[in-house]
Amino acid sequence: MEVAVVVKIVLSLALVGGVGLFLRLYRALVAKPGQLRSALRKQGINGPPPAPLLGNILEIKKSRTATTKAPTCGAPPEHNCANALFPFFEKWQKKYGDIFMFSLGNTLILHVTEHDMVREITTCTSLDFGKPSYQAKERGALLGNGVLTSNGTHWAHQRKILAPELYMEKVKGMIKLVQESTMTLINSWNNIIEAKGGIADIKIDQHMRSFSGDVISKACFGRNYSSGEEIFFKLRALQEASSKKVLSTGIPGMRYLPTKSNREMWELEKEIKTLILKVVKERQEVGYEKDLLQTVLEGAKNGNLSQEALDSFIVDNCKNIYLAGYETTAVSAAWCLMLLAANPEWQERVRGEVLEVCRGQIPDADMIRKMKLLSMVINESLRLYPPVAIISREAFKGMKFGNISIPEGVNVWAFVCSLHTDPEVWGADSYQFNPNRFANGITGACKLPHLYMPFGVGPRVCLGQNLALVEMKILIALILANFSFTLSPTYIHSPALNLVIEPGNGVNLYVKKL
C-alpha cells in the first residue's frame, strides 16, 4: 500500500514537472517568438514565414544553393559582395522593403537598411541595446563572452581600459614593430622571387597573417612572443570552427550537443584559455612590460572583479585584440592588394606617391599621413570588402528608433555590405573600384557618410581600427616600393564569410621585384 502511494506521488511529480517543462519550452520556442513577430507585424513589418524551431534557416540554405555560381577566374567586373554572400537578403528586401524580419532558429532578427534608422541604431549608446546574447553564447567563445554580456557593464569597462585614445597611443609606439615585421615579409618575398628566377606566383594570405600575427604577438605578449603565436594559431582554428555554426545560431540547444564541431570548439576554447592564463602568470612573475597585455592586466586590476571574472576578462580581451589587430588587418590587406593587382593604373599612381614621399626610406607615421592616394585606395577597398559584414545589436529592453518600437529580445541587423554599395548613396558606379570617390575624404565620398562603417561605427567602433590602418599603410607602401604585381591566372574570386569577409580561395599574385 505504501509503495503504491509513493509510486503515485512520484508519477504525479513527474507529470507536473513534465507539464511545467513543456509549458516553459512552449513559451520560449513558440509563444514568445510569435508575440515578438506579432508586435512587429502590427507596425507594418513583415518577412518570410518561419518554420518551427528552424526559422528561415532552410530557406537561407536553399537560396544559397540556388544562386551559387561558378567561381570567377580573375577580378570580377562588379564587386557585389552582398549578393555573393547573402543572396536571400536582396530577395527579401525587394519583397518586404528596407525593414523586414526573419528568424535564425527562434532568434528573431530585424533587418534594417533604411538610412535614417541605421544612423540611430549605430550611434545608440544605451547599455540596453548591445551585442546580441546569441553571440555571447554561440560565438562568444571567439569574440569574448564577457565583452558581450547583456547588461553591458563588462563592455563598458573594456571600453574604458582600451579606449580609442589610449589604444591610439599604443599604436604610435607599435610603428617600429610594424616596420620590422614588414621588412621580414619583404625579405621573404625577395628570397622566394630570387629562387623562382625573377617572378613568383605567391599566395599571399598566409604571408599577410604571418605579418599581422608577428606585429600583434610582439605588441600584446612582449617577451612571450612565441606563446602569442601559438595562441593566435589556435584562435584562427577556433574562428574557422565558429564560422561553420553561424546558421545554427538560434536553434535551441544546439550549442550544448556533443557534436563533432562543438567538441572541437570546446577543446580549442580550453586550450586557448590555458595558454593565455599561462602567459599572464609568467608576466606577473617577471614584472612590468609596456605592451597591450599589460594594459589589459592593469585595467583588470582596477575593475573590482572576482578571480573567475578577472580570468574571463583577460581571456576575452586577448581574443578581441586577436580579431581586431590580427585577422582584420590580414584579410583587409589581401583584398587591397588584389584590387591593386587588378587595377594597374592605380598601382602605378600609388607607387609613384610612395616613392616620392618615402625617398627610399621605411615609411613612418609622418610619411603615411602624407600618402593621400594610398588612403583613398584603402578606403575604397574597405568599402567593397569590409571586414565587418553585419552590425548586430539586441534590445535588452523595449527600444524605439524612428517610428519603430522594437520589443525586448529582438535582434537588429544593419547590413554593411549592402549599405556600402547602395547606388542611391554611392552613385551609379557603386559596384566599381573607384578610389577617386574618396578624394575629399570619407565625408565627401557619398551622400550619407555615416553609412561607411568598415570597422563598425559610433560608440562600439572596432578598437583595432587605427592599428589596422597603420599596418596596412606601411605594409602596402613597402610592397609597392619593392615589387610590381598582377593577378595570377590561378586566382579565383570567391568572397567567403569566416566571421570576417575573406577571399574564399585565397589571393594569388604574380610578384616581380622592381
Chain centroid, CA 451 distance in Å: 17
Instruction: Report the alpha-carbon distance of residue 173 to residue 386 in Å, rounded.
Output: 26
3-class secondary structure, 223: helix
144 pLDDT more than 60: no
Give the other-Cβ count within 10 Å of 369's Cβ: 12
CB of 416 within 8 A of CB of 425? no
List, in sequence order, every beta strand (DSSP E) within 430-499: 483-487, 492-493, 495-498
Average pLDDT over residues 355-365: 94
462 assigned binding-site residue: yes
Number of H helices, E strands in the chain: 23, 14
Give the other-Cβ count within 10 Å of 301's Cβ: 11
- Which residue ranges form the domains of the chain, and what is each CATH number? 81-513 (1.10.630.10)
Tell me the three-class secondary structure of 454-514, residue by residue: ECECHHHCCCCHHHHHHHHHHHHHHHHHHEEEEECCCCEECEEEECEEEECCCCEEEEEEC
Q: In the prediction, which pLDDT does 290 show?
A: 62
With a pLDDT cut of 70, the percent of the chain lying above it is 71
Q: In the prediction, which pLDDT does 298 show?
A: 66
Half-sphere exposure in the Cβ direction for 25 (13 Å, CA): 11
Average pLDDT over residues 64-86: 78
Instruction: Report the alpha-carbon distance of residue 170 to residue 228 in Å, rounded.
Output: 18
Distance set, CA 403 to CA 33, 99, 105, 406 (Å): 21, 12, 27, 10
Q: Quote the cell numbers at residue 197.
A: 628566377
Distance set, CA 510 to CA 198, 258, 331, 450 (Å): 10, 45, 18, 37
Which of 46-55, 57-66, 324-333 holds the top average pLDDT?
Answer: 46-55
For the CA atoms of 148, 170, 457, 424, the dihedral, rounded to the nearest 10 degrees, stands at -140
Q: In the prediction, which pLDDT does 157 show?
A: 46
Q: Of 61-75, 244-258, 319-333, 417-431, which gets the smallest average pLDDT?
A: 244-258
10 pLDDT more than 90: no
pLDDT band at 199 (very low <50, low <70, confident <90, very high): very high
Average pLDDT over residues 27-51: 83
Amino acid at 473: K
Show the CA angle centred on residue 481, arms to residues 479 and 483, nearest 5°. 60
Show the CA angle centred on residue 146, arms to residues 145 and 147, nearest 5°. 95
Q: In the prediction, which pLDDT does 473 show?
A: 96
Q: Which residue has the higher pLDDT, 141 or 224?
A: 224
Instruction: Report the alpha-carbon distance of residue 101 to residue 99 in Å, rounded.
Output: 7
CB of 498 within 8 A of CB of 385? no
CB of 407 within 8 A of CB of 344? no
3-class secondary structure, 413: strand
The DSSP call for residue 29 is: I
With a pLDDT cut of 90, the percent of the chain lying above it is 39
Furthest-apart CA atoms within the chain: distance in Å: 100
3-class secondary structure, 271: helix
Instruction: Look up cell 568572397; give the residue.
Output: 495
pTM of the model: 0.83
b vs e for 79-107, b when ≥16 Cβ sit within 10 Å of the residue's Cβ?
bbbbbbbbbbbbbbbeebeebbbbbbbbb
411 pLDDT more than 50: yes
